[in-house]
């Protein structure tokens, strides 16, 4: 088989780089020296090429070289089936990735995790029995718009985290992506590798263990292009000063640098970046203090308003709240703002608690940590929803205020071009149209009724703007969201905010990760969960001495209702329910009674779902139904969103002959 010239030269370059990487010349010299010594010890004979090749084969060098040399083909389309290439998901699943295509014209950083140690929280972890379900660690990485995930490993004092990640290092700018990055170019890349360690317990609950930013540029000073590091992972929240464990990683540049940089140059560059960041943050803090003093001088009551300028992330770092919002585009993963709101609402809500109780702990998570964990507080949901709505071109802001009984809360606000104000609840995807009450209107004049659950608002912000409410009352019902009116809203300088919150403005700003396409297949997940639920219902009825007979046709008819329910959650519009009702009337014979019970979950755990269902008296009445010609039906629909967020709808139903 003949190769085109460009492919032949590419193949030669790959083989040449591979031989350099395994130091083939050094190994050949060692074997040659040994063979010559052996020949001098014995009777002198001329050394032929065949003898030398046999010596290389005996020492396994040829086998090692061929074993490590793999060629993979780009899977743009399947030649036999014609199936299209799987779309780019910005996510590499190491559990499925066996081979990685390496472009010889590009530079790569090979990050290898060599294991963990000193995770003392798991020191007393009992030895796992074969087949036993246990808690696991999963390591997530983000680097320059690509995300990676390791396979889960059992938790322990020394977890067996051993994975390799190939990170592509390319130049920024038009036409620069095809050029190989040199040492000077890579030195200017201050993007860290963000590592997030997640613990998943036996009930599928996730916990954020550590969030670490790795500066990889130390490898630029090594002629071998390879180094090994021990990363001390710190805890999160109130434990951010306590070590969680140590992760051993090795970094290797491929291909190796022909010209390296001195350690002094690298440390100087890093020091300059830290100094520049510290100076910008210092100047912003000075400005923020002056701005706050001016705000308090307007009215003494402003001191009690919820005006939040800074917030702590999971590592205990204080950052301006505007830096938590970025313009985030979801590509093909989300089709509309309302679908984005539905996706955010499917991420579980959990407050960060102080160890030993004591109330709510203040903790805003970086977007990467929030997405990897799959749950967070209302602030995490609101900043993510605001970022997505900005990506869809809306004029969106995060609101900080209170709900009923003075409970602190954050939600999202959008302004229409016609001046309309819409509130978005990020935890439920509900939307509320805001109509302010006019306090100066005559007593008998009709006033709009409050439609939202929000009581007060202290400030609003997005990635560029921060505004504090300086109206006489901070009540939402009386608030006018005219942000251009300086007598109602006091704005921070956009230039000051840009100096510390704009992308690339400071090295302390976490990079923005992309959303990942779901890995779950909705059809197979629905079928699996439905089979498990059928088994649990049958076993439960068997314990009650009841026989279970399933009606597959009725089960199928329930699908359209579940689809309508999810569509209504996404769009706020109900349509198609008439067809479901008509189909049920046709499927239920005259004189029979039909009962149905739909329920919604955010997980795919069958036992947890069934236990929750039985807490409802109406659902238990259906599951435990007795009667003549009684037939049961169940349907499960799993709707999958980015980040494997799931909307799980179940519907139990039964029909039986009514006997008076």
pLDDT along the chain (660 residues), means of 10: 58 69 71 66 58 72 63 41 43 48 82 93 75 87 94 92 91 63 89 95 90 94 90 91 94 89 94 95 96 92 91 93 95 94 95 64 90 94 97 96 92 94 95 82 72 93 96 91 93 95 87 93 95 95 93 94 92 83 92 93 91 93 90 96 95 84
Q: Where in the chain is the domain with CATH 3.10.620?
A: 272-439+447-501
pTM: 0.82
Residue the block writes with tokens 């739909």: 598
| Six token digits for residue 196 | 């997030």
Query: First-to-last CA distance in the chain?
Result: 83
Q: Where in the chain is the domain with CATH 3.40.33.10?
A: 522-657
517's CB contacts (< 8 A; 6+ apart) are: 87, 89, 90, 91, 333, 642
DSSP strand pairing (146-149 vs 91-93): parallel
Q: 272-439+447-501: which CATH topology? A: C8orf32 fold (3.10.620)
**Hey, which bits of 403-493 come out as E strands?**
408-415, 421-424, 431-434, 456-461, 466-469, 489-491
What are the C-alpha distances in Å from 6 to residues 10, 12, 255? 6, 10, 20
pLDDT at residue number 360: 60
Q: 90-172+179-261: which CATH topology? A: Immunoglobulin-like (2.60.40)
Q: What CATH code is assigned to 522-657?
A: 3.40.33.10
Count of C-beta atoms within a 10 Å radius of residue 101:
10
150 touches 161 (CB < 8 A): yes
Q: Where in the chain is the domain with CATH 2.60.40.150?
A: 90-172+179-261
Q: How many contiguous H segments (helices) and E segments (strands) does the chain have? A: 15, 24
Distance of CA 633 to the CA centre of its chain: 36
400 touches 460 (CB < 8 A): yes
Distance of CA 518 to the CA centre of its chain: 11
| Six token digits for residue 193 | 């590798």
360 touches 350 (CB < 8 A): no
221's CB contacts (< 8 A; 6+ apart) are: 260, 261, 262, 263, 265, 266
Distance of CA 349 to the CA centre of its chain: 15
């Amino acid at each position: 088989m003949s190769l085109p010239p460009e492919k032949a030269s590419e193949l030669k370059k790959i083989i040449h780089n591979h031989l350099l990487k395994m130091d083939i010349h050094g190994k050949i010299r060692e074997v040659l020296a040994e063979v010559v010594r052996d020949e001098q010890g014995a009777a002198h004979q001329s050394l032929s090429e065949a003898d030398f090749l046999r010596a290389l084969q005996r020492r396994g060098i040829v086998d090692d070289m061929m074993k490590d040399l793999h060629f993979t083909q780009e899977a743009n389309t399947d030649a036999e089936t014609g199936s299209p290439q799987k779309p780019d998901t910005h996510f590499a699943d190491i559990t499925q990735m066996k081979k990685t295509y390496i472009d010889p014209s590009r530079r790569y950083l090979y990050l290898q995790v060599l294991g963990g140690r000193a995770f003392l929280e798991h020191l007393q972890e009992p030895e796992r029995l074969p087949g036993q379900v246990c808690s696991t660690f999963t390591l997530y990485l983000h680097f320059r718009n690509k995300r990676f995930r390791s396979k889960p490993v059992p938790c322990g004092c020394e977890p067996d985290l051993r994975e390799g990640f190939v990170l592509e290092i390319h130049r920024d700018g038009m036409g620069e992506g095809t050029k190989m990055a040199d040492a000077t170019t890579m030195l200017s890349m201050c993007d860290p590798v963000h590592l997030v360690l997640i613990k998943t317990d036996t009930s599928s609950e996730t916990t954020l263990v550590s969030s670490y930013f790795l500066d990889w540029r130390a490898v630029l000073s090594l002629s071998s292009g390879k180094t090994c590091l021990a990363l001390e992972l710190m805890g999160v929240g109130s434990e951010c000063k306590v070590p969680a464990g140590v992760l051993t990683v090795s970094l290797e540049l491929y291909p190796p640098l022909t010209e390296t940089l001195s350690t002094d140059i690298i440390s100087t560059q890093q020091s300059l970046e830290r100094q520049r960041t510290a100076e910008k943050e210092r100047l912003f803090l000075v400005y923020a203090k002056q701005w706050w003093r001016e705000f308090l001088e307007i009215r003494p009551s402003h001191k009690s308003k919820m005006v939040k300028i800074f917030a702590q992330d999971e590592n205990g770092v204080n950052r301006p709240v505007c830096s938590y919002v970025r313009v985030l585009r979801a590509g093909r993963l989300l089709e509309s703002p309302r679908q984005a709101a539905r996706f955010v609402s499917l991420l579980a809500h959990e407050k960060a608690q102080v160890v030993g109780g004591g109330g709510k702990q203040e903790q805003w998570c970086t977007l990467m940590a929030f997405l990897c964990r799959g749950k967070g507080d209302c602030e995490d949901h609101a900043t993510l929803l605001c970022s997505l709505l900005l990506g869809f071109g809306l004029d969106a802001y995060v609101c900080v205020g209170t709900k009923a009984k003075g409970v602190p809360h954050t939600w999202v606000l959008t302004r229409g071009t016609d001046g309309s104000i819409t509130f978005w609840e990020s935890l439920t995807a509900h939307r509320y149209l805001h109509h302010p009450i006019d306090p100066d209107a005559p007593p008998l004049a009709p006033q709009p009724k409050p439609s939202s659950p929000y009581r007060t608002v202290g400030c609003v912000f997005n990635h560029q703007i921060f505004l504090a409410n300086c109206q006489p009352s901070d009540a939402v019902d009386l608030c006018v969201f005219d942000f251009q009116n300086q007598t109602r809203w006091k704005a921070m300088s956009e230039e000051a905010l840009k100096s510390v919150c704009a992308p690339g403005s400071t090295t302390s700003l976490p990079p923005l990760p992309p959303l990942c396409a779901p890995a779950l297949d909705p059809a197979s997940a629905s079928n699996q969960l439905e089979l498990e639920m059928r088994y649990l219902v049958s076993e439960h009825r068997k314990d009650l001495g009841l026989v279970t007979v399933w009606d597959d046709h009725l089960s199928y008819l329930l699908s359209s209702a579940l689809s309508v329910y999810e569509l209504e959650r996404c769009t706020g519009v109900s349509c198609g329910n008439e067809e479901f009702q008509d189909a049920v009337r046709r499927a239920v014979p005259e004189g029979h009674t039909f009962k149905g019970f739909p329920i919604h979950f955010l997980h795919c755990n069958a036992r947890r779902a069934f236990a929750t269902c039985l807490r409802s008296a109406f659902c238990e009445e259906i599951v435990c139904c007795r009667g003549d010609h009684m037939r049961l039906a169940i349907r499960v629909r799993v709707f999958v969103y980015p980040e494997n967020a799931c909307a799980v709808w179940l519907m139990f139903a039964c029909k039986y002959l009514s006997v008076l």
